[in-house]
Structure 1
Amino acid sequence: MSHLTGKTLALLATDGFEQSELLEPRRLLEAHGARVDVVSPDGKQKIRGWKDKDWGDEVQVDVPLSKADPVAYDALVLPGGVINPDTLRGDSKAIAFIRDMAGAGKPVAAICHGPWLLAESGLAKGRRLTSWPSVKTDLTNAGAHWQDAEVVVDGNIITSRKPDDIPAFSAAIAQSLAG
């Protein structure tokens, strides 16, 4: 399970990320041999997840966003939760990082409420996407073609709906990097 050895992924998050949507893709992608850096704009050493309707565990930040170079990463992962993407979509540096990664043709993967960041960054228009159901209207208003599917891949954009989809989501990310 080391077909991603030598690949480095950025996992962009801040406080309020859906805990399973950060930890489980990171674990699965690292099991394939990838290095996964948690990148956060907060300048903090740790960010706190959201789990079961309350605050969850803290996660170490590997790279502050101000020092994260899109050239150094092979892909970008955007976990959901409501708080995390809602906070990040108001951060111009986070949006620029997402645009730079997508503009370089690198995979950008978003799950649950994470696709809000695709809408905010202008990446939703004309794309086939999925998300948590309540984000559907926001994505269609941003010009996306929303689908209710476990995982949707449209070029370099990968989206999934919810934590139950994490295995398929992570597999799609790994496939996009391996082949």
Structure 2
Amino acid sequence: MSKVAVIVTDFVEDVEYTSPVEALKQAGNDVTVIEFEAGKTVKGKHGVNIKIDKTIDEVKPDDFDALLIPGGFSPDQLRADERMVDFVKAFLLASKPTFAICHGPQLFIQTGLTKGRKMTAYVTVRPDLYYAGAEVEDQPVVIDNNLVTSRAPDDLDQFNHAIVDALK
């Protein structure tokens, strides 16, 4: 069983949170949802309510084995907070399993660690990754060592399979 951190805030793409989290839990992993404020409930773009377990100030990367970053408008808000960026950066530097879908890879740009990494993202995020030095592919799932990225909700089956496999 792995301990997986999920960083999220309002306007996350609902299914990009619910589907991977369900897959991770069904595979026996422990999931902790992290945001700016504990005990709060954030709302997805389509109305899903997500209860926050811990604040970013209450956790450290060493508490977790892996990280999940769902897409939607959430990653754009998260990347404006240096604490979130530092949290993500620590997972990448430690080569811990790190998973991001759709707009989630926006956070990697803020870390300065995209150069030479293979990844994918939503169509509008791919040029940003490219300009930040990533090797961008238009595939449902791109795996670069412990970094697993995916494009959009249509790719969730492949993404979920890949992230569960990465934790075996």
3-state secondary structure, aligned to 2:124: helix
Question: Over residues 88-126 of structure 1, what are the superposed CA-to-partner deviations in whole Å (9 max), with x where a residue is unaligned?
Answer: 111000000001122222111110011111111122211
Identity between Structure 1 and Structure 2 (%): 38
RMSD in angstroms over aligned alpha carbons?
1.1
Alignment of 1:97-116 (within 5 A): 97-116=87-106
Q: Return the alpha-carbon distance in structure 2 between the equivalents of residues 123 and 75 of structure 1.
A: 17
2:114: which partner in 1? 124
Is 2:29 aligned against 1:34?
Answer: yes
Question: Over residues 19-40 of structure 1, what are the superposed CA-to-partner deviations in whole Å (9 max), with x where a residue is unaligned?
Answer: 0001110001100010111111
Q: Return the alpha-carbon distance in structure 2 between the equivalents of residues 62 and 43 of structure 1.
A: 6
Shift of 1:43: 4.5
Q: Return the alpha-carbon distance in structure 1 between the equivalents of residues 115 and 160 of structure 2.
A: 24
Alignment of 1:51-130 (within 5 A): 51=46, 56-81=47-72, 83-130=73-120
3-state secondary structure, aligned to 1:133: coil
Amino acid corresponding to residue 72 of structure 1 in structure 2: D
TM-score normalized by the length of structure 1: 0.90
Task: Point out 4+ residue stretches in structure 1 off by more than 6 angstroms.
Answer: none
Q: Return the alpha-carbon distance in structure 2 between the equivalents of residues 76 and 69 of structure 1.
A: 12
TM-score normalized by the length of structure 2: 0.96
Amino acid corresponding to residue 159 of structure 1 in structure 2: T
1:173: which partner in 2? 163
Q: Return the alpha-carbon distance in structure 1 between the equivalents of residues 79 and 34 of structure 2.
A: 15
Indicate which of 7, 18, 25 corresponds to 2:13. Answer: 18
3-state secondary structure, aligned to 2:44: strand
Q: Determine if contact 1:119/1:125 at 8 Å carries over to the other structure.
A: no
2:132: which partner in 1? 142
Q: Return the alpha-carbon distance in structure 2 between the equivalents of residues 48 and 175 of structure 1.
A: 29
Question: Over residues 117-172 of structure 1, what are the superposed CA-to-partner deviations in whole Å (9 max), with x where a residue is unaligned?
Answer: 11111222111111111111101010011111010000121100001111211211
Q: Determine if contact 2:6/2:68 at 8 Å carries over to the other structure.
A: yes
More deviation, 169-178/147-156: 169-178
Could you tell me which runs of 5 or more consecutive residues in structure 2 were left unpaired when the two chains were aligned: none
Q: Determine if contact 1:132/1:162 at 8 Å carries over to the other structure.
A: yes
3-state secondary structure, aligned to 1:106: coil
Amino acid corresponding to residue 59 of structure 2 in structure 1: A
Q: Return the alpha-carbon distance in structure 2 between the equivalents of residues 63 and 44 of structure 1.
A: 7
